[in-house]
Each structure stands twice: as C-alpha cells, then as structure tokens.
Amino acid sequence: MTETGGCPGSLTEDEMKKLARSERMAIHASNIANLVLFGAKVFASIESRSLAVIASTLDSLLDLLSGFILWFTTYSMRNPNQYHYPIGKGRMQPVGIIVFASVMATLGLQILLESVRQLLSKSRPEMDEEQEKWVIGIMVSVTVVKFVLMVYCRRFKNEIVRAYAQDHFFDVITNSIGLAAAVLANKYYWWIDPTGAIMIALYTINTWAKTVVENVCSLIGRTAPPDFLAKITYLIWNHHEEIKYIDTVRAYTFGSHYFVEVDIVLPEDMFLNKAHNIGETLQEKLELLPEVERAFVHIDFEFTHRPEHKAKL
C-alpha cells in the first residue's frame, strides 16, 4: 500500500461503475420477479385456501413494499446533499434494512396469531385434484425462480443486494413449507396446514429479528474486531519513521463501514508543514481501506495526557 499508493486488490473506477450497474440490475430483477410471483401466488392462495400458502403470499406482498423501501434507500444514497448531509447518506443503508426487517417480523407475528386461531377453530382447506396440480405447479415454479435470484444476489457485497438475497432465501424456505403443508393437510390431517404456517411465522420472526439487532449494532457504534484494529495499528506504525508512539486507535461502526480515530505522537520540534503532511497522508491511506468510510488523525507531541474525545454519559 505504501509503495503503490493504493489498496491492493481495490477496484478501478470503471470496475466500480460496472459493479454498481450489476447491483442495480439485481435489485430491478428482484422487484420485477416479486411483482410477477405475487400475482401467481395470489392465484394459488385462491385455489388452495391454505393458510400456509396465504402466509407465503402475504410475504410476497410485503416483498413488494420492502422492495420499494430498499429502492428508495438506494436512490437516496446516490443523490446526497452535501449541505444537508455533509458526510453522505451511508447510514440510509442499515436504516432501510431495519425498516425492511421490522415489517417482515410483524408479518410473522400476524401469521402466528392467525395460525393459532385456525388450530382452535379446527378449520381445514379443501382442494380437488385439478386445484392441487395448479397449486403445486405455481409454488414449485415460484420456488425455483426465487432460488435462482438468491444465488445471483449473493454474488454481491452490497448490503442492500444481500438483503434481497436473504429475502429470496427466506422465500425458498417458506414456499417449500407452505406447499408441503397445503398438500399434506389436503391428503391427510387438517392440522398440518396451520402447523406449517406457524413454522413459517416463527422462522420469519427469528430471521428478521436477528437482522434488526445486527443493523442496530452497526448504527450505535460497535467496535471493530481485534484483527481489524491490529491491521490498522500495523499500518500506522509503518507509515512514517518519525512516528514515535501510537496513543489511540479506535474503529467503530457508523452504518455499514467504520469510522477510525487515531492519535499519533511526533517529535515536539517538528515543523508544522511536515507534521501536517504525515497526518494527512496517513488519513488518506486509512481511507483507502474498503472497510473505512472516514478516518480522523490527531497529532500530538506527548502521550501522558488523558485521551481526548471522552464519551459523554
């Protein structure tokens, strides 16, 4: 990094533009597929009247809502206002994912309550052979399409695209459970259908609750892992031979990337222009790391004082 002036393995500007286009295509393909598949699953719900299939269909309805939320998030991040948002809108990403996950978890709770009600009332879906064939064909087709989209979206590192990948994986699970529950309930025992819906609801709540917790932690400033702090410390120590001490190294989440705060000690008699150049080039080097959004370098001439920027209680 010191010799080349860049981060090894980093993408060129053209490669970054190509990646951005691919990410946008993945988002658009996911939204279009969600719209088409929702229509197909509405028909399957009408034909089967299965609570498990209806639960899967309601999930697809919320996919459309969530897709709009994530699209709006991506659009907002691409159009920052440097006067209202001086450091950009990177925090829009986890906020959008939290809203997305909260809606999905709420759906799971609604399905859980309705499934319990159906178990208590002992109601059961009924399908003839023709309806059953239609339901199986539609649900299998939807599951295959969702699986292909999941594999495609998982190729990207963008958090929003990966949220789509997680949603597609979730649909593969719920569609499979919903289809199996509807068919088995029609052929054998009525209680299999609400039981399958309860499984879908519990899976929904568990999966998206974890997603909410992870993104909330990223917003409130969770510290970076020790290996990342060690990498930053090594980079700082080898930055310039005039660095006498490293007083403080902090890295914490502020959205999907890290903010880094560094205190270094330089000789007391060093000229200001040289000290400034050392600090500025170190800041630029740290910000070349793909995990770092902003870096702040504080220069001092001794390290016996108490750490600055003390957190307020």
34 vs 213, which has greater pLDDT? 213
pLDDT category at 70 given cuts 50, 70, 90 is low
Lowest mean per-residue pLDDT among 22-31, 50-59, 219-228? 50-59
What are the pLDDT digits (tens) for 152-200?
877 776 666 777 777 778 778 777 877 777 777 777 777 777 787 788 7
Q: Which two three-digit tokens encode residue 230? A: 């060690």
pLDDT category at 102 given cuts 50, 70, 90 is confident
Q: Domains of the chain (ranges plus CATH)?
A: 13-219 (1.20.1510.10), 226-300 (3.30.70.1350)
231 vs 56, which has greater pLDDT? 231
Q: Where are the beta strands (DSSP E) in the chain?
A: 245-253, 258-265, 292-300
Angle subtended by helix axes 272-287 and 226-237, to nearest 10: 140
Residue with tokens 């459309």: 64
The residues near 2 (Cβ < 8 Å, ≥ 6 apart) are 238, 239, 285
What are the pLDDT digits (tens) for 200-223?
778 777 877 777 787 787 777 788
5 pLDDT higher than 70: no
pLDDT of residue 62: 67
292 vs 46, which has greater pLDDT? 292
pLDDT of residue 79: 67
What are the pLDDT digits (tens) for 234-246?
999 999 899 999 9
Rounded Cα distance between 36 and 133, Å, is 20
Which residue in 208, 206, 185 sits closest to 119, CA to CA?
185
pLDDT of residue 114: 74
**Side-by-side strand order, sheet with 245-253:** 245-253, 258-265, 292-300
pLDDT category at 271 given cuts 50, 70, 90 is very high
Mean of the per-residue pLDDT values of the chain: 76
Which residue in 283, 273, 303 sits closest to 235, CA to CA?
283
The segment with the largest mean pLDDT, out of 1-5, 35-39, 178-182, 256-260, is: 256-260
29 pLDDT higher than 70: yes
